[in-house]
Amino acid sequence: MPDLLRKLHHHPATAWLARAAGLPDPVELLRAAGPTDAQPLAGKRTAIRAAAGGYAADDLRAFALGAGAVIDDLQGQSLDILIFDATGCRTPAGYAALYDTFHAAASQIAQNGRVLLVAAPPAAATDPIAAAAARGIEGFSRSLGKELGKKGITVNLAYVAADALDRLDGPLRFFCGARSTYVSGQAVQLSTTAVARGTAIEGLHGKVAIVTGSARGIGMATAQRLVEEGATVVCVDVPAASQALHDTCRAIGATALVLDIAAADAPARLLDFLRERGGVDIVVYNAGITRDRTLARMARRDWDLVVDVNFGAIAAIDEALLAAQLLREGGRVICLSSISGVAGNFGQSNYAATKAALIGYVAARGAQLGARGITVNAVAPGFIETPMTQRMPFVPRELGRRLNSLKQGGQPRDVAELIAFLAAPGSVGITGNTIRVCGQALIGA
Ligand code: NAD
């Protein structure tokens, strides 16, 4: 569906009105199609800058070159990507490098450009001043994202200790490439928690993936992305969505499993199904429901239903999968949280509780499963253009769509891109994280 504000700005009859009213004119965001390229930064004009005394710049340069970037001094020229090694920012005086670099370079970054900052993890600092300086980079990068978002530029931050530098390759390719279109203002923590396994595998060939709630919307887009990457995908949805599920599976080349994940026998049925296939490598807990009402007006059954589907079913299935050892070494678990879970939301106490619970779940599980090379992360979408959000009344829908740095809603494919990245071997450094895909929504930011 064409964007209403863009239509108003670009129609001769309404352009003057849109300008006079000061309505934002959202830029057309560039998106990648098809499977991930071997060189996602091919031909991209890239500058790599660093604060003095940092430890990441050499690795960042090597990874960017490996991903096909054109690295040059590029003084005064237009840039597609700006990467900044802030690991040397350990004192207030060290912040001068932030000003000196970005004051000059921010306006050089082209529309749909990318900024990636890399900083030392605050928790690893022995000196409180160094911890503070590292944490401050987050405030800086989030502010920069809000300033540059009107040009479709994303700004993200990776916290990485010196011993996890080799894990920056995958995140650099994602956050500086065309697949992170709707991911901005995020701070990911890289670690050596998960043991690296099978990084030689190209794409997701040979992997079995299961995506719950994938008859439509974000789940369908995710299943399609995983198929594109070469995975064998099983799509799960409720009996009422059986027709749509089978249509989806036929269209994308996946296998259908009709199953209500909140049913008492769901874990056992899923286990039987996966045993026949020798286990599973990627589990995407996407199925989720809302039953919105203020708490005082909420019926007990709506409270229970949301808790059962969004939290109880995931806990029960995940426990059963782990107990039966059907989640293979090097596996990936990805839970769909929400910015409602990050910030809370009026009329969504049930939904927000469950979505916040998943943030806690991935942090705890990620720490537990690292020794088996399994990562566990959550993805928190903001306003995504799906049948669910299209049914919202006009005013809240327009507000939800615009209140972010990119001034537009995301596409299901944008969420699927982040999930596909977290499902891939190159994301091994990221576990226990919750990453928002929300165009840097102002809610909870
Ligand atoms: P959707 O309603 O379009 O699709 C959800 C799918 O899950 C449907 O096909 C539905 O039949 C299925 N499902 C529901 N209950 C199920 C059950 N018990 N067992 C199996 N399948 C079940 O939703 P969506 O917009 O694509 O959202 C997908 C996920 O992303 C959800 O967890 C949602 O909470 C989350 N999310 C969405 C948005 C957004 O803007 N669309 C924002 C934040 C979070």
Ligand 1 pocket member 189 (CB < 6 A): no
Judging by DSSP bridges, how do beta strands 327-336 and 255-258 pair with one another?
unpaired
| pLDDT at position 1 over 60 | no
Residues 102, 104, 109, 115, Cα dihedral to 10°: -10
Q: What is the ipTM of this complex?
A: 0.99
| pLDDT at position 106 over 60 | yes
- Give just the sign of the alpha carbon dihedral 43, 101, 50, 438: negative
DSSP of 341-375: HHH--TT-HHHHHHHHHHHHHHHHHHHHHGGGT-E
Distance from Cα 57 to the centre of ligand 1, integer Å: 40
Ligand 1 pocket member 423 (CB < 6 A): no
| pLDDT at position 75 over 80 | no
The dihedral region occupied by 409, where left means phi > 0, alpha psi between -120 and 50, and beta the remainder, is beta
Predicted confidence band at 197 (pLDDT cuts at 50, 70, 90)? confident
* Residue whose CA is at the smallest distance from ligand 1 atom 8: 213
- Sheet (strand 434-437) strand order: 255-258, 232-237, 208-212, 280-285, 327-336, 375-381, 434-437
- Nearest CA to 211 out of 335, 118, 106, 81 is that of 335
Ligand 1 pocket member 289 (CB < 6 A): yes
Q: At 437, give phi and psi (nearest 5°).
A: -125, 90
> What is the number of the ligand 1 atom nearest to the C-alpha of 288?
32
Ligand 1 pocket member 211 (CB < 6 A): no
> What is the number of the ligand 1 atom nearest to the C-alpha of 245?
9
Q: How many residues does the chain have?
A: 445
Ligand 1 pocket member 153 (CB < 6 A): no
Domain boundaries, the chain: 41-189, 208-437
Ligand 1 pocket member 426 (CB < 6 A): no
* Residue whose CA is at the smallest distance from ligand 1 atom 6: 213
Distance from Cα 429 to the centre of ligand 1, integer Å: 27
- Nearest CA to 328 out of 261, 277, 255, 379 is that of 277
Residues annotated as catalytic are 351
Q: Candidates 289, 390, 411: which one to mutate for ligand 1, based on the most atoms within 8 Å of Cβ?
A: 289
Q: Which residue has the higher pLDDT, 295 or 386?
A: 295
**What CATH class does 41-189 carry?**
alpha beta
Ligand 1 pocket member 241 (CB < 6 A): yes
Q: Do 315 and 358 contact (CB within 8 A), yes or no?
A: no
- Which tens digits make up the pLDDT trace of 316-343? 999 999 999 999 999 999 999 999 999 9
pTM, two decimals, is 0.96
Q: Look up the CATH superfamily of 208-437.
A: NAD(P)-binding Rossmann-like Domain (3.40.50.720)
The reply to whether domains 41-189 and 208-437 share a CATH topology is yes
Which SS3 state, helix, strand or coil, does residue 444 take?
coil
- Nearest CA to 274 out of 241, 308, 232, 214 is that of 232
Question: What's the mean pLDDT in 147-174?
Answer: 97
Q: Please, what is the angle between helix 349-369 and helix 313-323, to 10°?
A: 20
* Residue whose CA is at the smallest distance from ligand 1 atom 1: 217
Rg (CA), the chain: 22
The dihedral region occupied by 169, where left means phi > 0, alpha psi between -120 and 50, and beta the remainder, is alpha
